[in-house]
Amino acid sequence: MGLPKIRSTTRPRGATPLEAPASGSPLSTLRSKLAVTSLLLGSLLLVFGISGNETTDLSPADVAGTAPSNADFTSPEQATGGLSSEQAPDHNAARPSPPPAEPPWREEVVRNGDNLSLIFARAGFSDRDVYEVTKADGGRALRKIYPGETLSFQTSPEGRLHRVKHKESALKWSTFTRDGNTYRTEVTVREPEIFEQSATMRISSSLFLAGQAAGLSSKVIMDLAGIFGGVIDFALDPRVGDTIELVYEEAWIDGDKYADGDIVAAAFTNKGETFQAYRYTDSLGDTSYYNEDGVSMRKAFLKAPLDFTRVSSNFNPNRLHPIYKTKRPHRGTDYAAPTGTPVYAAGDGRVVEAGYTRPNGNYVFIQHGETYKTHYLHLHKRRVKKGTRVKQGDIIGTVGSTGSATGPHLHYEFLVNGVHRNPRRVHKSLPKAKSLPEAELPRFEREVARPGQQLAALKNTQNLASAGSRGESSGQ
Ligand SMILES: [Zn+2]
């Protein structure tokens, strides 16, 4: 399959629809929770008055071309109208003229502190209506509403409540339609189409800018940084010319991107060394990222314990300036970043000191097991207290310039058995990351074969493009 190098804002035609995302992702969790699924396509056909099974191979785009001009085919409210087995007269296929407009919907957004009585009252309906709708089969679910969701109401020509729609998200809504003195319930769950997308990047100033130039969302860039956060210091390691290839997923609905999905595989070549990461769901159902040998990408320590996207210069390692005008050697790593930049716990541990001294300013010390300790100095704010247990990546404070600092930066120290070590060099002596068990490896290798080939193809494309632009061969 050809991998598009240039991203497009339209639906990726050449892309392959995939299986459901790995278990544990929000999308699949949503799916598994719900029992009744209504297919969008089926409902569209009813809405547009197209009858007959032979039309079911129409794509939404094809259907759109035949839609009456007053029909909004992307509108869920239109779609739900046709879901019941008995087709409403409005949707009669034989009708020659466009169907009359549905009664208008009145939409109420659920606010903080709302309840059904309040919302129904705003829409002009009574507590009796609330009672009747919620006693319907499935109506109890309506009592679980959250701020930001919407409730929409339709009134019959006689002025009675005709239909209530509870929209939880673009992917799920329930419709309660009056049927005499009771309401019948339909739950509609839509599944987005999952497409694979790919991108290549060459760093000229920072990962973040390279990612933006490649059309990646902030979420995908942050995911990428998270996956490689144990092996690459994104504040200090990247160099001009470093390359990244990645394959990731996007969820689409009605020809529009609905959400970014997960990264499937990625490779980062930093100063000539290539790190690869593959998403893998093991036979127990746990999803994580592993390198090509099945070693977990999650390490005991982050290489850069702060939000790297806000570090001032990616190419200014340790050259901030001598912070201390004292004679003692500089025993840490400095990250110049704006005041307020989040500082993370480099690894799981317990805060053993948190306070203020004149040289350190606001500081936090974290003990990690018996052997390791990390220090964070000159913080603007401390977010943890002595004794707090922290997980890797928890925010423990923010960058500042308290104590003897000439400008806002994080001074980070790494100690092994009480001795200061260069955190950027010490990694070989750190605890080994978990590997997949032997028995899991054949399955792992089968599953990462295809993304592995995709990464290799992307890398080739990238090398060719680069050789072309320099007018020389990259072959050796
Ligand atoms: Zn320093």
Domain boundaries, the chain: 1-34+192-299+437-464, 38-102, 105-190, 308-429
Please check the confidence at residue 69 and state whether its pLDDT lies above 60.
no
Determine the distance separating the centroid of ligand 1 and the alpha carbon of 323, expressed in angstroms: 6
- Collapse the DSSP code of 163 into the 3-class scheme (helix H, G, I; strand E, B; otherwise coil) and give the result: strand
Which tokens in the block code for residue 171? 């992917």
- Architecture per CATH, domain 308-429, reads as Distorted Sandwich (2.70)
Q: In terms of pLDDT, which residue wins out, 462 or 25?
A: 462
Q: Which CATH number is correct for 1-34+192-299+437-464, 3.40.50.300, 3.40.1110.10, 3.10.450.350, 3.10.20.600?
A: 3.10.450.350
Q: What pLDDT, on a 0 to 100 scale, did the predictor assign at position 467? A: 78
Determine the distance separating the centroid of ligand 1 and the alpha carbon of 331, expressed in angstroms: 7
Determine the distance separating the centroid of ligand 1 and the alpha carbon of 412, expressed in angstroms: 7
Q: How far apart are CA 360 and CA 367, in angstroms?
A: 18
Percentage above 90 pLDDT, the chain: 55
C-alpha closest to that of 304 among 354, 344, 350: 344
- The residues near 79 (Cβ < 8 Å, ≥ 6 apart) are 40, 43, 44, 47, 188
Please check the confidence at residue 62 and state whether its pLDDT lies above 70.
no
Please report the sign of the dihedral spanned by the C-alpha atoms of residue 46, residue 49, residue 53, residue 54. Answer: negative
Determine the distance separating the centroid of ligand 1 and the alpha carbon of 469, expressed in angstroms: 40
Q: For the chain, how far is it from start to end, CA to CA, in angstroms?
A: 27
Contact by Cβ (8 Å): 315, 234: no
* Banded model confidence at residue 68, pLDDT cuts 50, 70, 90: very low
- Architecture per CATH, domain 105-190, reads as Roll (3.10)
Question: Which segments within 18-98 are labelled E, that is strand?
Answer: none
Determine the distance separating the centroid of ligand 1 and the alpha carbon of 242, expressed in angstroms: 27
Asked if the domains 105-190 and 308-429 are classified in one and the same CATH topology, the answer is: no
Q: How far apart are CA 428 and CA 304, in angstroms?
A: 16
Q: How far apart are CA 305 and CA 344, in angstroms?
A: 5
Determine the distance separating the centroid of ligand 1 and the alpha carbon of 348, expressed in angstroms: 23
Q: How far apart are CA 341 and CA 399, in angstroms?
A: 5
Q: How far apart are CA 364 and CA 383, in angstroms?
A: 9
Q: What is the pLDDT of residues 173-225, one digit of tens each?
A: 999 999 888 899 999 999 999 999 999 999 988 888 899 999 999 999 999 99
Q: What is the pLDDT of residues 373-403, one digit of tens each?
A: 999 999 999 999 999 999 999 999 999 999 9
- Collapse the DSSP code of 35 into the 3-class scheme (helix H, G, I; strand E, B; otherwise coil) and give the result: coil
Q: What is the pTM for the complete model shown? A: 0.66
